[in-house]
Amino acid sequence: MAQHRERAEHDHASAPRRRGRPRAAGRGDTRARILRAAAEEFGGLGYDGATVRNIAARAGVDSALVHHYFGTKADLFAATVDIPIRPDRVIPGILAGPRDAVGESAVRFVLEQFEDADTRRRAVALLRAALGNRVATPLLAGFLQRELLGRVAAGLDAPDAALRASLAASQMAGLIVARYVVGLPALAEASVDDLVARVGPTVQRYLFD
């Protein structure tokens, strides 16, 4: 009886592992390899030049595995540079809502995201690192142009849609830098509601008037 138990235990230990989800350590190793490869690819070729296929090849994995762990190219980029706010996911939906509320809704979304302490810390760190950096600045700009401004412009029925989207973005970026990075006292002390009421109509005008 003891010999049978020992043989069964030996057979169980030596049996090949069934296919399925990788062990946690394996998942971590794979994710880390993909993120390193993505950093190299994005850093070398920019956002538009980088491809999921090439990133997968750098990491030594299949493209499907990159999508499994990270989703889209935009999701992978966000994970690579640790973007804490994803306006590319939300703003197009705001554009599809009530037209007369787009400006204020967009400003409120961004400000409320920054009011979260952890999100603000990560976002400000990213902005400080990106501003003026010859590699990071065009890389972040490429992501925003393709994934955010391009989508906003596509949702505007205007011949100068790209300019309108860029002007709205510049207003938002200036507000973020002045309030959260530079910390201009009057802006830093103003309430979210006050800023939404004052800046929202300007963003609305850039987009539609």
Mean pLDDT within 175-187: 95
pLDDT band at 26 (very low <50, low <70, confident <90, very high): low
Q: Is the pLDDT of residue 179 over 90?
A: yes
Coil, helix or strand for 158?
A: coil
Mean pLDDT within 153-157: 90
Mean pLDDT within 133-158: 87
Rounded CA-CA distance 18/33 in Å is 24
Fold classification of 87-208 (topology level): Tetracycline Repressor; domain 2 (1.10.357)
**Nearest CA-CA partner of 180 in 108, 125, 98:** 125
Copy the structure tokens of residue 65.
Answer: 């595995």
pLDDT band at 64 (very low <50, low <70, confident <90, very high): very high
Amino acid identity, position 164: R
Mean pLDDT for the chain overall: 86
Mean pLDDT within 13-18: 42
pLDDT band at 9 (very low <50, low <70, confident <90, very high): very low
Return the axis-axis angle of helices 73-81 and 63-70, rounded to nearest 10°.
60
Spell out the domain ranges in the chain.
Answer: 22-81, 87-208
Of 52-56, 143-147, 205-209, least confident by mean pLDDT is: 143-147
pLDDT band at 4 (very low <50, low <70, confident <90, very high): very low
Helices (H), 50-180: 52-59, 63-70, 73-81, 87-95, 102-115, 117-130, 136-144, 150-154, 161-176
Please state which architecture CATH assigns to domain 22-81.
Answer: Orthogonal Bundle (1.10)
- The whole-angstrom distance between residue 87's C-alpha and the CA centroid of its chain comes to 8
**Nearest CA-CA partner of 181 in 125, 132, 110:** 125
Mean pLDDT within 183-192: 96
Name the pTM for this structure. Answer: 0.73
Rounded CA-CA distance 181/156 in Å is 30
